[in-house]
Structure formats: structure tokens, C-alpha cells
């Protein structure tokens, strides 16, 4: 089977990681993935490093005509069995590139927002993959029929950690401090704007023990949030080693399709504190593998952080439960679920072709 993957992302985030893991696993299984990615993007670089077939296409807007023509040429030459678009822009470009062809289009949706626009969600998309039930529910509210959507959870590999980073040594912090981490894009939608408010509401006894490490973004150096000393590490490539040096993860995102950084943290025995929003409520079992606060409630988030900081036994319990929970979100599960969608789409296409042939003979 030949699968043409499209991803327009210019940065390395959860979606690009999933594309890379999926393509690598498909190649190992004897399939033929070809990934069209943004030129000079981290995804393109990693694909080349691993010898995974790739092509470059700058996708600058949802209906970028130049990109559509580029993808159409690739489709014409390579003749994939399935085209799989992995983000909203790639979705739009695939629709334009496939006009007049019968190549089935599969689209992965990763955000728990109600979709807008009938054209993109019309019958030209053979099937949608939602990375959580929260995403699938949002699509249903937007009018996408539930029989056109399959939930396939994102998957992450078991972390391989050589030497956890010693953030206390790097930042010059006392050995007895507890290290909290925030991982990902340092943007407002990821809850970074709430860090000041969260820090101010943490119990004084807990605040004195805490230090915060920010893994992601461009800024580097010392910082402070609500009275808690912080260190901005910038983009970190060896993310598992970096996360393994933490005592807890803060994930203050206000809207999350699932949250692969949370899976990573749990797999490493780093208990997460998160808002109960989007797919996070499907991932974190409150009191067993992490702690959840009501969406957007910084005071409640701070209370959960305070409890975790002051209760060593709770941290150990959540660390053990998190490792078990993370094992349920492996790469094989994601790859198998995706393969089942492809098989369903191709079987439906074959059935439709057979029916048309039979009608023609009559």
C-alpha cells in the first residue's frame, strides 16, 4: 500500500511527531509511505535522517494554488492508494490537489473545536480520524456524521532515557526543591498566560519548594511566575531526558485534542496536573495517574499543584499509575487504528466500484 502523507507544519509539535512515528512504523511493516512536508521543517529533517521517503512543498495558506499543483504532480507521478492529510491547511490543499481524481482522502483532526465550512467537511473526504472522543464530539456538533469519523488515539513510544537532565545543577537551585515543568509551544492557547495566576495562588508552604522549567519556545534564561523562580530552556531536542529530570508536569492548556506531552510525562513517572478539558479527561485518571482542575480555574489548578507538592506519597502513587496509563497509548495502537481506517476506506471504494460495474452490465 502506498500512502501519501501531507503535513504543512513548519515547527516540531505533537502533530508532526505523530506523522513521523506513523510513517516510520508503516515503513517497518512493509508499506510505502511518502511524506510531503514544509521545506526545511524539523519534520522534513527527521524524515531524511531516518531515510523515510519525503518531498517538500511550501503550504502557505489553506487554498495555496501553487502548493495544490505541487501535490497534484506528486500524486500523478507516485499514484498513492490513499492520501492522508494531517492538519487543517494540508486538508484544504489536498482537496484542491485531488480534484478530478478518485484517490481516497483521509484527514486527521487534532483540535477539539467545532469545524466550520461545508466544503472541507463534505463527501470528498472519505473518512476522518479524530485523536480523541472530545475531537470527534466537536466534529459531530459541526455537522460531520459520526459514521465518517473514527477515534484513533495518538501514540508515543516508551521513553528511552540515558541520563535525566539535572535542572537544579543547571539553574543553580537547591537540591531539595521540587521541579515543575511546562512542555510545548509557549503560546496563549497552551495556557502560558495563566502561569502567573497559578503561581500566585499556590500555598506558601508549597511555593517555597517549587521551581519551574519551561521546555519549548524561543526564549532562554531565568524568569519568574507568580513568585516562583523559573528557567526557560528553549526548544529541547532530547525531550525525554529533559522531562525525566522533573517532579511534576503542569499542563495548563485550555483546549487540547489529547496531549502527547502528558503521555510522555506519565510514561516517565512524572505526575501531570491539568485542566479537565478536551481529550485530557480521556487521558488522565484523576487521583490515579494525574490531577485535574476545572477548566480555566487557576485557583483550583494551584490547589492541585500544592497538594502534589506537599504529599510525597501522592506523587509516588500518581507516578506509578501514570506509567500504567501511558502504556495504553502506544505507537502500535495508533498505527493499527490508522491501518483499519485505510482498509475500511479502500474496501468501501472497491465495493462502490464493483457495484458500478454490475449496474453497467445490466
pLDDT of 359 above 60: no
Look-up of cell digits 497538594 = 307
Read off the pLDDT of residues 193-243 as tens digits, 9 standing for 90 and up: 899 999 999 999 999 999 999 998 888 999 999 999 999 999 888 899 999
Same domain for 178 and 301, yes or no, is yes
The mean pLDDT of 308-314, rounded to a whole number, is 97
Is residue 129 included in any domain, yes or no? Answer: yes
Read off the pLDDT of residues 277-304 as tens digits, 9 standing for 90 and up: 999 999 999 999 999 999 999 999 999 9
Same domain for 335 and 248, yes or no, is no
Is residue 162 included in any domain, yes or no? Answer: no
The mean pLDDT of 142-160, rounded to a whole number, is 95
Q: Kindly report the CATH number assigned to the domain that includes residue 282.
A: 3.40.50.2000
pLDDT value of residue 217: 86
Query: What total of structural domains would you count in the chain?
Result: 2
Same domain for 257 and 150, yes or no, is no
> Residue 105 is inside which H or E element, if any?
strand 105-109
Same domain for 173 and 92, yes or no, is no
DSSP 3-state helix, strand, coil percentages of the chain (rounded to 5)? 45, 20, 35
Is residue 189 included in any domain, yes or no? Answer: yes
Using 50, 70 and 90 to split pLDDT, how confident is the model at 80? Answer: very high
Same domain for 178 and 113, yes or no, is no
Using 50, 70 and 90 to split pLDDT, how confident is the model at 342? Answer: very high
Q: Write the CB contacts of 2 (distance below 8 Å, at least 6 apart in sequence).
A: 31, 32, 33, 34, 78, 79, 80, 81, 82
Same domain for 128 and 188, yes or no, is no
pLDDT of 49 above 90: yes
Same domain for 320 and 197, yes or no, is yes
Range of the domain at 96: 2-157+330-361
Amino acid at each position: 500500500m502506498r500512502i501519501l502523507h501531507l503535513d504543512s507544519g513548519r515547527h516540531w509539535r505533537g502533530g508532526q511527531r505523530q506523522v513521523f512515528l506513523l510513517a516510520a512504523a508503516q515503513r517497518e511493516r512493509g508499506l510505502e509511505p511518502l511524506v510531503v512536508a514544509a521545506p526545511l521543517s524539523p519534520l522534513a529533517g527527521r524524515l531524511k535522517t531516518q531515510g523515510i521517503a519525503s518531498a517538500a512543498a511550501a503550504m502557505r495558506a489553506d487554498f495555496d494554488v501553487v502548493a495544490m499543483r505541487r501535490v497534484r504532480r506528486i500524486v500523478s507521478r507516485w499514484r498513492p492508494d490513499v492520501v492522508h492529510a494531517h492538519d487543517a491547511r494540508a486538508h484544504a490543499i489536498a482537496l484542491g490537489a485531488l480534484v478530478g481524481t478518485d484517490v481516497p482522502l483521509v484527514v486527521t483532526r487534532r483540535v477539539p473545536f467545532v469545524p466550520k465550512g461545508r466544503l472541507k467537511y463534505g463527501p470528498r473526504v472519505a473518512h476522518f480520524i479524530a485523536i480523541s472522543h472530545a475531537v470527534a464530539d466537536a466534529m459531530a456538533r459541526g455537522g460531520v456524521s459520526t459514521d465518517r469519523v473514527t477515534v484513533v488515539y495518538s501514540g508515543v513510544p516508551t521513553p528511552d532515557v540515558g541520563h535525566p537532565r539535572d535542572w537544579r545543577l543547571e539553574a543553580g537551585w537547591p537540591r531539595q526543591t521540587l521541579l515543575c515543568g511546562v512542555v510545548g509551544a509557549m503560546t496563549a492557547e497552551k495556557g502560558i498566560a495563566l502561569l502567573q495566576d497559578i503561581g500566585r495562588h499556590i500555598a506558601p508552604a508549597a511555593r517555597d519548594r517549587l521551581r519551574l522549567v519551561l521546555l519549548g519556545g524561543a526564549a532562554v534564561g531565568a524568569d519568574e511566575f507568580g513568585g516562583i523562580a523559573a528557567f526557560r530552556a528553549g526548544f529541547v531536542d532530547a525531550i525525554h531526558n529533559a522531562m525525566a529530570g522533573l517532579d511534576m508536569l503542569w499542563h495548563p492548556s485550555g483546549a487540547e485534542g489529547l496531549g502527547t506531552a502528558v503521555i510522555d510525562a506519565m510514561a516517565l513517572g512524572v505526575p501531570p496536573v491539568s485542566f479537565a478539558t478536551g481529550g485530557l479527561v480521556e487521558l488522565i485518571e484523576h487521583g490515579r495517574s494525574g490531577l485535574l482542575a476545572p477548566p480555566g480555574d487557576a485557583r483550583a489548578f494551584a490547589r492541585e499543584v500544592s497538594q502534589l507538592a506537599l504529599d510525597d506519597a501522592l506523587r509516588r502513587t500518581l507516578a506509578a499509575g501514570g506509567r500504567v496509563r501511558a502504556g495504553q497509548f502506544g505507537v502500535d495502537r495508533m498505527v493499527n487504528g490508522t491501518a483499519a481506517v485505510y482498509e475500511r476506506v479502500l474496501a468501501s471504494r472497491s465495493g462502490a466500484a464493483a457495484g458500478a460495474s454490475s449496474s453497467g452490465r445490466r
